Chain A
Amino acid sequence: MIIEAKSLCKRFRDVVAVDGLDLEVEPGRCYGLVGPNGAGKTTTMKMIYCITEPTSGSLRVFDLDVISHPREIKARLGVVPQENNLDPDLSTSQNLKVYARYFGISKDVAASRCQELLEFMHLSDRADSPMPALSGGMKRRLILARALINDPELIILDEPTTGLDPQVRHLIWDRLLELKERGITLLLTTHYMDEAQKLCDEVLIMDEARSVDVGTPSKLIRSHMRPYVLELRAERGRVADILSRFGHLEHQSSGQNLYFYGNATEEFNGLYGAYPDVEHLLRPASLEDVFLKLTGREIRQ
């Protein structure tokens, strides 16, 4: 196991951030943590990369205990934090080289790795740029390059693509899949369920400090959802009317949006016929449906 947590707990004064979490990440896999804001994802990650200490339970990374061996663990992993912490006063390549030094990488090796990584992240022509000259997407790519400076066995990514344009998101996805192919283990959090579905071999859904369910995306969908979803967007007055006639089908409502769940598309035929003019979308169930079903539709924090 690359990561193994048993009954992991973290308490900050009277707030329980992580409560009895069990987690097993096998080498070479991409593991996703998803959950509403404040669910405990970031705290879990910080315990794994040893900048927050567990209150109780056990947590081993690379089969080493996080409390007794933080230095050894941190030497072997790379971190993409949620918030940008690049050095704003240093250039792109200086940012990488300063980190190389923290890992004890020699100057020559650092210089060649720096060049390699900037190429890998499409930043070669920006090697000497000052930080304020970089766009948000470039900064994010640089942070990912920085996380690779020590040739890590495990990369921890806290919302790696939040706020990025589709081009950069796809570049980052491609790179992450390439890294996974090289055998590097990935642990990521995301609020984008399409991202989790695309990248992750296994997803753990967290809510209110606890694990709600864990499994492959398709297994999670299969065990919680019927395979088909019909989304309707009705005018305010018609919602009640629709529900009075088709409320016997499994459904959820959220404002003007109605979601009907079915085992076969034919189950929705009556609905179509009755309301041909209502805007609708028939699609397979997704991880997002599972997420909303398990963690609810109301706003959390």
Chain B
Amino acid sequence: MNAGILSVSPAFYKVWLRNAQVFIALWKFNFLPALAEPVLFIFVMGLGIGSYIKEIEGVPYLDFVAAGILGSAAIMQATFECTYGSFFRMRIQNTFEGIISTPMSADEVGLAEISWGATRGMVNATLVFFILLVMGVFHRWQVIFLPPLMFLAAFNFAAIALLVTSRIAQMEYFRFYFSGIVLPAQFICGTFFPVSRFPEAVQIFAWVIPFTSYIDISRSLMLDRPARALGPELLWALGTTLIFTELAVRSMHRRLVR
């Protein structure tokens, strides 16, 4: 059997739709808790710490940190969905085994899970986007590119997360991924202060994690200044998304069709 993104039929949206249907059935439990973290960040980082810092790189702290909060909202939600969420569906509920017993393929399940994680990340980021808009953080029309960029960021991290999910035997292994990659990403990728504050080795690690690129591009859209290197950053973002999606889909196939 063929495997990988190219073997996926457009019917994969049906699995996405199944997740959306369950999400809507449980919206009370899904919506508000997911928003708690970014809102907390806005208050703690933006308004709390921000009142001491005043300015960073020539802009008010809240304006600076907004890109980080927005990005975190996208990738954290996507990551949770495609780690614990996907693992739960795969191992605890046996949902995937049921789906691939129909004409749907394991690869379609994989791509649908990533798309669903990306959707949730973007929905979350879009809500945060409107909160920031109402708070008067945005000053340029270019911010309309932020939601699609956040979709890409969420897609990227959903793919990485699903790759991890497809490779682990038990949920406890997620702790390594969270403390080794996700948590560092949230704090060292330029989220709350510039990456340039770190020693060079940490900076390199930060730039390897695509989140740094997303934040830098976001910041260039929000604040009137160029990205550090727009071309390479976009290429890295798109490239890692594509590669990790392909790897995750293939790995999911191996996991489900044994």
Confirm or deny: B99 has a beta carbon within 8 angstroms of a beta carbon on chain A. Answer: yes
Interface 1/0 per residue, B76-108 and A, CB below 8 Å:
000000000000000001110111111111000
Q: Which residues of A contact B258 (CB under 8 A)?
A: 12, 52-53
Q: Which residues of B contact A104 (CB under 8 A)?
A: 11, 103
The answer to whether B1 touches A70, judged by C-beta atoms less than 8 angstroms apart, is yes
Binds B, one of A73-81, A160-168, A213-221, A251-259: A73-81
Closest to B108 in A: A102
Contact A51/B21 with A88-B93, A102-B99 known, Cβ cut-off 8 Å: no
Contact A81/B98 with A101-B14, A101-B17 known, Cβ cut-off 8 Å: yes
The answer to whether A71 touches B105, judged by C-beta atoms less than 8 angstroms apart, is yes
- Count, chain A residues at interface, CB 8 A: 28
The answer to whether B101 touches A98, judged by C-beta atoms less than 8 angstroms apart, is no
A114 shortest CB reach to chain B, Å: 15
The answer to whether A74 touches B22, judged by C-beta atoms less than 8 angstroms apart, is no
Residues 94-128 of B contacting A (Cβ, < 8 Å): 94-95, 97-105
Confirm or deny: A271 has a beta carbon within 8 angstroms of a beta carbon on chain B. Answer: no
The answer to whether B257 touches A51, judged by C-beta atoms less than 8 angstroms apart, is yes
The answer to whether B25 touches A90, judged by C-beta atoms less than 8 angstroms apart, is yes
Contact A74/B103 with A51-B97, A89-B25, A94-B21 known, Cβ cut-off 8 Å: yes
Closest to A95 in B: B98
Q: Of A70, A84, A90, A99, which contacts B21 at CB under 8 A?
A: A90
Closest to B18 in A: A98
| Secondary structure dominating the interface of A | loop
Confirm or deny: B135 has a beta carbon within 8 angstroms of a beta carbon on chain A. Answer: no
- The range of chain B's interface size is 20 to 34
The answer to whether B101 touches A83, judged by C-beta atoms less than 8 angstroms apart, is no
A134 shortest CB reach to chain B, Å: 15
Contact A83/B103 with A12-B258, A67-B1, A98-B21 known, Cβ cut-off 8 Å: no
Confirm or deny: B256 has a beta carbon within 8 angstroms of a beta carbon on chain A. Answer: yes
B123 shortest CB reach to chain A, Å: 18
CA distance A49 to B98 in the complex (A): 11
Interface 1/0 per residue, B3-28 and A, CB below 8 Å:
00000000100110110011001100
Q: Of A67, A68, A89, which contacts B26 at CB under 8 A?
A: A89
The answer to whether B101 touches A79, judged by C-beta atoms less than 8 angstroms apart, is yes
The answer to whether B1 touches A75, judged by C-beta atoms less than 8 angstroms apart, is no
Closest to B26 in A: A89
Most buried by B among A74, A79, A89: A89
Closest to A149 in B: B102
CA distance A70 to B103 in the complex (A): 8
Closest to A130 in B: B25
CA distance A47 to B26 in the complex (A): 35
Q: Which residues of A contact B22 (CB under 8 A)?
A: 87, 89-90
Q: Which residues of A contact B95 (CB under 8 A)?
A: 85, 87
The answer to whether B100 touches A51, judged by C-beta atoms less than 8 angstroms apart, is yes
Confirm or deny: A192 has a beta carbon within 8 angstroms of a beta carbon on chain B. Answer: no
A81 shortest CB reach to chain B, Å: 7
CA distance A104 to B258 in the complex (A): 25
Interface 1/0 per residue, A118-155 and B, CB below 8 Å:
00000000000000000000000000000000100000
Q: Of B11, B17, B101, which contacts A74 at CB under 8 A?
A: B101
CA distance A74 to B106 in the complex (A): 13
Contact A103/B93 with A12-B258, A85-B98, A94-B21 known, Cβ cut-off 8 Å: no
With A87-B93, A89-B25 known, 13 other A-B pairs at CB within 8 A are A51-B256, A67-B1, A70-B105, A75-B102, A79-B101, A87-B18, A88-B93, A90-B22, A101-B14, A101-B18, A102-B102, A102-B104, A104-B11
A residues touching B (Cβ–Cβ < 8 Å)? Answer: 12, 49, 51-53, 67-68, 70-71, 74-75, 79, 81, 83-85, 87-90, 94, 98-99, 101-104, 150
Q: Rank and list the top 3 A-B pairs by shortest CB-CB distance, nearest first.
A: A85-B94, A102-B102, A85-B98
Q: What would 13 A/B residue contacts be, using CB atoms closer than 8 Å?
A: A51-B257, A53-B1, A53-B257, A53-B258, A67-B1, A74-B101, A81-B98, A84-B94, A88-B93, A89-B22, A99-B102, A102-B102, A104-B103
